[in-house]
Amino acid sequence: MKSIIVAVDKKLGIGADNDLLWMKDLPDDLAYFKRRTTGASVIMGRNTYDSMGRPLPNRENIVVSHRPVGDEGVLTTASLQSAYELARYPIFVMGGGRIYADAIDDMDRLYVTEVNAEFPQATVFFPRIDPTVWKEVSREHHDADERNKYAFDFVVYDRNDS
């Protein structure tokens, strides 16, 4: 099973200055990400790995880059296809923009957190979710609260033909 996991703003913005747009303002989304990906293989681009600076615990970390990362607990490979082949567990492609654009056609499922806000500073975007290819199969709404600055929805898309 191959899935993408991503959080997008209202214009599909996902990042700026090699960081998340909402920084640490959505802890419940970080918790959701952790819950979904623990025990899985996470595949990420070099910029996303560099923005974290260390592997994610309790997951198989695979970085796609032509430059080896060299950190303990991180596998580096030069292509997305070889990343899929290396993965020993269910796959979550976890960004960033370039990896998402290259991987979306290979995916079975998309886990998309839709953040109910716009961030004009966004420079990196998620590709359009084509409704002829993807159908929404679940949506869970969360209002903003004292911990989470913005309202958001956890949305799951499966392929129309699945």
User: In this chain, which stretch among 53-61, 62-70, 129-137, 144-152 interacts with ligand NAP, using CB under 6 A?
Assistant: 62-70
Give buried/exposed letters for 94-114 (b at 16+ CB in 10 A, else e).
Answer: bbbbebbebbbeebebbbbbb
26 touches ligand NAP by CB under 6 A: no
14 vs 87 by CB, closer to ligand NAP: 14
Single residue of 7, 26, 43, 87 touching ligand NAP by CB under 6 A: 7
Binding mask 111-140 for ligand NAP (x = CB under 6 A): -------------x----------------
Nearest to 61 by CA among 46, 78, 44: 44
User: In this chain, which stretch among 43-51, 54-62, 135-143, 146-154 interacts with ligand NAP, using CB under 6 A?
Assistant: 43-51
Distance of alpha carbon 129 from alpha carbon 12, whole angstroms: 10
Q: Which residues contact 71 (CB under 8 A, 6 or more apart)?
A: 54, 55
Single residue of 4, 12, 20, 40 touching ligand NAP by CB under 6 A: 20
What's the length of the chain? 162
81 touches ligand NAP by CB under 6 A: no
Distance of alpha carbon 60 from alpha carbon 86, whole angstroms: 10
User: In this chain, which stretch among 85-93, 98-106, 127-135, 151-159 interacts with ligand NAP, using CB under 6 A?
Assistant: 98-106
> Token pair for residue 6?
């991503």
87 touches ligand NAP by CB under 6 A: no
Residue-by-residue DSSP string for 46-95: HHHHHHH-SPPTTSEEEEE-SS----TTEEEESSHHHHHHH--S-EEE--
Q: Which residues bind ligand NAP (CB under 6 A)?
A: 6-7, 14-15, 18-20, 44-48, 51, 64-67, 79-80, 94-99, 102, 124
